[in-house]
Amino acid sequence: MNTPQDVKMRVYSFGDRVADGNSAMKNLLGSKGANLAEMSIMGIPVPPGFTITTKTCTEYNQIGKDNVVSLLMTEVQIAIAKVEKSMGTRFGSNENPCLLSVRSGSRVSMPGMMDTVLNLGMNDDSVKGLIAKTGNSRFAWDTYRRFVQMFGAVVLGVSALTKEDQNPFEEIVEKYKRNRGIELDSDLDVADLKQMVRDFKDLCEMQTGKKFPENPWDQLWASITAVFDSWMNPRAIYYRTMQQIPEEWGTAVNVQAMVFGNMGENSGTGVAFTRNASTGENIFNGEYLINAQGEDVVSGVRTPQQITLKGSKTWAASAGVSEINRKTKYPSLEELMPTTYAELNTTQAILEKHYNDMQDIEFTVQEGKFWMLQTRSGKRTAAAMMKIAIDLLAEGLINEEQVLLMQEPSKLEELLHPVFDGEAIKAAKIIAKGLPASPGAATGQIVFFADEAHKYQFSILVRVETSPEDLEGMNIAKGILTARGGMTSHAAVVARGMGKCCVSGAGSVIVNYKTRQMTIDKQVFHEGDWISLNGTTGEVYKGKIRTKDGELSDDFETIMKLADKYRVLGVRANAETERECKNAIKYGAEGVGLCRTEHMFFEGERIMRIREMILSEDETGRRKALDKLLPIHRQDLKEVLRAMANLPVTIRLLDPPLHEFIPHNIENQKEMAFEMGVSIETIKQKVQDLKEFNPMLGHRGCRLGITYPEITEMQAKAIIEAALELKAEGIKTFPEIMIPLIGTVKELKLQKELLKTIIDRIFEEKGDTIDYLIGTMIEIPRACLIADQIAEEADFFSFGTNDLTQMGFGYSRDDAGKFLPIYIEKGILKSDPFQVLDQEGIGQLIEIATKKGRATKTQLKIGICGEHGGDPSSVEFCHTIGMDYVSCSPFRIPIARLAAAQAALR
């Protein structure tokens, strides 16, 4: 074998119990390649092959096809020679052909990537050799037609001309089946298959205008480069953006000797999970098909059978198949091939122990001989993610740290998804039943095409089966229903990964793409009709069903407790109402990090008083309006402070530009004029006066309090009086008054002095005091640079990263939609900086401010509020630079707690 140390090495061989790579080399070999190497070393039977590195993919994108092929030529030839030696076949030989599979494989599994090409090396000559060698002409022709179909679809891009049309290859298969009056493609005979090869090739030549390549080497290079190309296809790019996978990673290419599950009744292929990917239960499960190959199991061409006897019985019960029928028509692998099953079962247990995680595995049996084709950490739901880790901990396979590191923080959001309301579901009518492919409740309007999922606010994507092209639509839809495919189908796997509700394999659903109709037992449903799905039970309902918030599970509490044990970063919530505060506490908030007072001014009476203040001619008028607002504001703040008893609450003084409050339509302006006893013209004039060219850089933040001190005065009164009143009730509060948008020390100083004067006066009046802090938001780049001076006046800093990003980049948040997506597409930015903190630039500003602030005051309390407080990578950054807490919306608190624990462990 080659030495992996050689930096120029682009090809890594595996097979026959040895390998150049291993599972630690996922970055270079992709996850599939690294794990194939690892399994070889472990002595698990894996067909020999080799992996072309992910770095080569990057080279390919730089230097192009021809150059990469010449760079790879020698290494690939050597690697193929090893495969030939191991298999006793020859690549390109007519008599004894070595057939190959070409598979993509990046660091993480990507459903948007290229499909696999199997049986590469087939042509009009090698098919004869294969017949002579195996004496099985049905097998040889089946292999050939599969090759032409896959190569045609995947490499040559032959496809349906419109989305309503059926896949043209499938159309041909259907035609043959119809002519013969058979249902299954495994019943096609040699004559059919032979003719089908011709038809497939004609189809390819017609669509591409080129001859179908006969030369195996041409086939191979075309397939390898097609895998590289697929890294940049729109589906893959979409998936990467969705999952924040960097483009630089690239994909590896795995080339491997074929093993054949389509050699007859003693052969087959299957997919299995070492534990349940939906619920996390420790139950080995999976699906297989006899006399089948590759994607047959997942694509739903035939109803897949269950691997275990227990699984088979459960399946039969839910599908309404009698025990006799089950045993004869759909026996489990355990019953049908007990030796193979035993081998599979042993292997899955070994693999799970070896990787210490639930594995998603693929295997093939060729005439009784067992081969493993893949193992990887299985995609799972959030519930399964937690349960599996907790169980592995109890089984002594992993420790607490590993439990936490195995959790994907952003998946926790799934747990907060709604479930059907118990009463509403009782009244609902079940119209079909499928497999519970991905749990959850979804209600929406039917769409039949992925690119139409956005047609309705709530849509349910109904398909015969999904394919990687449907990714974006699956993401947009609220739920997915498929007529075909099992628990391991594309739809099921992708939906679980996305945490999206999915019912698959609902056999009674007949989909007609042309008429845009779905028929179930003669009942017709049209596009736009409402249906509901229960992905936990597999039930499909007619109509819209009310949902409610899901309950938090015990596993969730266990994981959160564990996270709290390891994290050092505090977690607070952005909240303005009692309800939000209660939610925040339920999810584990340790205080409010941002209470935006302007959010308390929009409802009813409040907005009127604010408008009155804004539209007043002079200070007297403003004070009059503010006096009326004071008791309401005090009451609102009291509710928040009460809900957060014993916990700190950061209350931010009024921040937005005033024009956000004023009426822009004539009706409301009239009402305002009447209310204030002034003419409509006066109002209109005032509205005109308040217009700003750049409101975000205009009269807002502390600039309001500086120009209208009476606003700050009123807010100070409301806060302190509320706290004192609560104290009288025996409730302890810790208000932290936050002054927004500071750019100079003097601004802070003036506002602080004003606050202190008012507060001291109230203390004196009431003869009582409370503890409070006065701090500031750091959200203007200048403030970061003079943070040492600002810290002299501030008890705390809270980074307002929304504004800091806006002003640091010079991107108006409200206008960025026009160019940000293009910036991301062109790779100028890796992600939206308003969602994921830009650590490189904005991060530096935060670091400078933190260092300077703490240089003045070692104990300065520092936190972050804004969208980034709930983003895992940003939370990690906050931990690293030593902040005290992050603050985010209540629903993101669990994510922040977990991310904070992971940051502490890393």
Residue 764: how many other CB atoms lie within 10 Å: 10
Residue 374 contacts Mg ion per CB under 5 A: yes
Residue length of the chain: 906
Q: Which is nearer to Mg ion, 373 or 718 (CB)?
A: 373
Six token digits for residue 765 = 């009046």
Residue 251 contacts Mg ion per CB under 5 A: no
Residue 805 interaction partner, one of Mg ion, ligand ADP, none, beta carbon < 5-8 Å per kind: none
Residue 567, classed as helix, strand or coil, is: coil
For residue 626, which of 654, 655, 651 has the smallest C-alpha distance? 654
Least Å distance, CB 37 to ligand ADP, is 14
Least Å distance, CB 110 to Mg ion, is 10
Residue 536 interaction partner, one of ligand ADP, Mg ion, none, beta carbon < 5-8 Å per kind: none
Q: Compose the 304-343 pattern: x for residues touching Mg ion by CB under 5 A, - for all others.
A: ----------------------------------------
Stretch that binds Mg ion, among 362-370, 619-627, 843-851, 875-883 (CB under 5 A): 362-370
Residue 445 interaction partner, one of Mg ion, ligand ADP, none, beta carbon < 5-8 Å per kind: none
Stretch that binds Mg ion, among 10-18, 369-377, 550-558, 710-718 (CB under 5 A): 369-377
Asked if 371 and 45 touch (Cβ cutoff 8 Å), the reply is yes
Least Å distance, CB 201 to Mg ion, is 23
Residue 773, classed as helix, strand or coil, is: strand
Q: Which is nearer to ligand ADP, 103 or 411 (CB)?
A: 103
Annotated catalytic residue: which of 57, 98, 502, 865?
Answer: 865
Q: Which is nearer to ligand ADP, 425 or 494 (CB)?
A: 494
Q: Which is nearer to ligand ADP, 494 or 755 (CB)?
A: 494
Alpha carbons within 13 A on the beta-carbon side of 563: 30
Annotated catalytic residue: which of 490, 633, 868, 879?
Answer: 490
Least Å distance, CB 490 to Mg ion, is 7
Q: Which is nearer to Mg ion, 362 or 655 (CB)?
A: 362
- Which residues of the shown chain bind ligand ADP in the complex (CB under 6 A)? 47, 101, 103, 116, 118, 256-259, 269, 294-295, 362, 364, 373-374
Alpha helix segments (H runs only) across 532-616: 554-566, 578-586, 604-615
**Number of residues forming the site for Mg ion (CB under 5 A):** 2
Least Å distance, CB 132 to ligand ADP, is 21
Catalytic (active site) residue 664: no
Asked if 555 and 889 touch (Cβ cutoff 8 Å), the reply is no
Stretch that binds Mg ion, among 91-99, 370-378, 538-546, 773-781 (CB under 5 A): 370-378
Q: Give the containing element (helix H, strand E) for 315.
A: helix 309-319
Asked if 637 and 596 touch (Cβ cutoff 8 Å), the reply is no
Least Å distance, CB 389 to Mg ion, is 24
Catalytic (active site) residue 490: yes
Residue 781, classed as helix, strand or coil, is: helix
Residue 378, classed as helix, strand or coil, is: coil
Asked if 482 and 474 touch (Cβ cutoff 8 Å), the reply is no
Q: Which is nearer to Mg ion, 374 or 889 (CB)?
A: 374
Alpha carbons 562 and 564: distance in angstroms, whole number = 5
Alpha carbons 619 and 622: distance in angstroms, whole number = 5
Contacts of residue 583, Cβ cutoff 8 Å, sequence gap at least 6: 573, 575, 890, 891
Q: Which is nearer to ligand ADP, 30 or 593 (CB)?
A: 30
Q: Which is nearer to ligand ADP, 90 or 103 (CB)?
A: 103
Least Å distance, CB 295 to Mg ion, is 6
Alpha carbons 487 and 276: distance in angstroms, whole number = 10
Least Å distance, CB 109 to ligand ADP, is 6
Residue 56 interaction partner, one of ligand ADP, Mg ion, none, beta carbon < 5-8 Å per kind: none
Asked if 650 and 590 touch (Cβ cutoff 8 Å), the reply is no
Residue 466 interaction partner, one of Mg ion, ligand ADP, none, beta carbon < 5-8 Å per kind: none
Task: Kindly state the DSSP code that residue 97 receives in the 8-state scheme.
Answer: B
Alpha carbons 898 and 904: distance in angstroms, whole number = 10
Q: What's the farthest any 2 CA atoms get from each other in the chain?
A: 105
Alpha carbons 773 and 723: distance in angstroms, whole number = 13
Interaction site with Mg ion (CB under 5 A): 362, 374
Active site residues: 490, 865
